């Protein structure tokens, strides 16, 4: 079932929701990667405004280990990140802008609220495989019927990464594997993610901790601050 909430200010909610949209896979086989970093290129195939293109994030980084992962977006002016603790279904959202360093704790109910503000595509199994970032992927099609041109987005699912229950906090929960390639639509803007590198490497536990200089606030406060960022941009 698709859900869409019309919101006048795009960018602040984009910055928050964007970090929700990388999913992991379920499994515990010893040959799967259980710790590492995935780097994604982020493009906007139908955005014609060159100024807006320049303002939008270009990369997303996912760090993972021990059934915890962190999605991060950084720019010269601000940064946002989301930490998902998959075993107890809890989340931390962090942002920094200038001298402001905030974080909020999210539960499943708040997660559902954030996912519901964007359309959820129907997923069609194409029953074929392809490779991305050097990994074999099963290929699907995500169908967005709310788009006027009927655009469909490719989805590349990889099952060689071991994060249990990581799909609990994104709209692709019917798929078990890491999405190395996918597309989402937010407020009429189509975004394309493609993994460019998957590194099997050690990740420090400190990556998933809230830095001591961050202040705990409500999710509403973070949304307000992100809206202020959009005005500054």
For the residues 176-183, what does the mean pLDDT come to? 87
Q: How confident is the model at residue 140 (pLDDT cuts 50, 70, 90)?
A: very high
For residues 166-195, give the mean pLDDT: 81
pLDDT of residue 4: 31
Cα maximum dimension of the chain:
50
Q: What's the pLDDT at 186?
A: 66
Please give the model's pTM, rounded to 2 decimal places: 0.82
- The confidence score (pLDDT) of residue 39 equals 97
Distance set, CA 202 to CA 33, 37, 63, 75 (Å): 11, 9, 10, 24
Query: What pLDDT band is residue 24 in, cutting at 50, 70 and 90?
Result: very low
**Of 16-20, 22-26, 38-42, 89-93, where does mean pLDDT reach its minimum?**
22-26
Report, as an integer, the average pLDDT of 119-140: 91
Q: How confident is the model at residue 31 (pLDDT cuts 50, 70, 90)?
A: confident
- Choose between 188 and 7: higher pLDDT: 188
Burial of residue 101 (CB within 10 Å: 0-12, 13-18, 19+) is middle
Query: What are the start-end ranges of the H helices in the chain?
Result: 10-18, 50-55, 108-115, 219-232
Class of 10-232 in CATH: mainly beta
SS3 179: strand
7 has pLDDT over 60:
no
Please give the full DSSP string across 186-203, using - where no structure is assigned.
ETTEEEEEEEEEEEE---
Mean pLDDT of the chain: 80
- Cα(132)–Cα(156) distance, integer angstroms: 8
Domain residue extents for the chain: 10-232
- Candidates 98, 66, 33; CA nearest to 233 is 98
Torsion of CA 29, 132, 75, 118, to 10 degrees: -80
What average pLDDT does range 23-47 have in this prediction?
77
Which pLDDT score, from 0 to 100, does residue 55 have? 77
Over 50: is that where the pLDDT of 183 sits? yes
74 Cβ neighbours under 8 A, 6+ residues apart: none
């Amino acid at each position: 079932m698709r859900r869409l909430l019309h919101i006048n200010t795009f960018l602040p909610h984009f910055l928050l929701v964007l970090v929700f949209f990388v999913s992991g896979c379920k499994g515990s086989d010893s040959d799967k990667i259980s710790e590492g970093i995935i780097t994604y290129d982020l493009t906007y195939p139908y955005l014609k405004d060159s100024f807006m293109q320049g303002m939008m994030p270009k990369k997303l980084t996912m760090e993972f280990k021990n059934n915890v992962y962190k999605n991060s977006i950084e720019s010269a002016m601000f940064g946002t990140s989301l930490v998902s603790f998959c075993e107890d279904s809890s989340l931390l959202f962090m942002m920094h802008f200038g001298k402001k360093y905030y974080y909020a704790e999210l539960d499943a109910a708040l997660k559902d609220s954030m996912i519901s503000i964007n359309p959820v595509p129907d997923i069609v199994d194409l029953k074929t495989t392809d490779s991305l970032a050097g990994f074999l992927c099963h290929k699907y099609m995500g169908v967005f019927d709310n788009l006027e041109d009927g655009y469909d987005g490719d989805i590349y699912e990889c099952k060689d990464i071991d994060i249990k229950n990581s799909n609990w906090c994104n709209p692709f929960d019917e798929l078990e594997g890491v999405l190395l390639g996918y597309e989402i639509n937010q407020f009429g803007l189509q975004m394309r993610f493609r993994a460019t590198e998957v590194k099997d490497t050690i990740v420090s536990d400190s990556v998933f901790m809230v830095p001591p200089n961050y202040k705990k606030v409500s999710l509403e406060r973070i949304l307000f601050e992100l809206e202020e960022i959009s005005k500054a941009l």
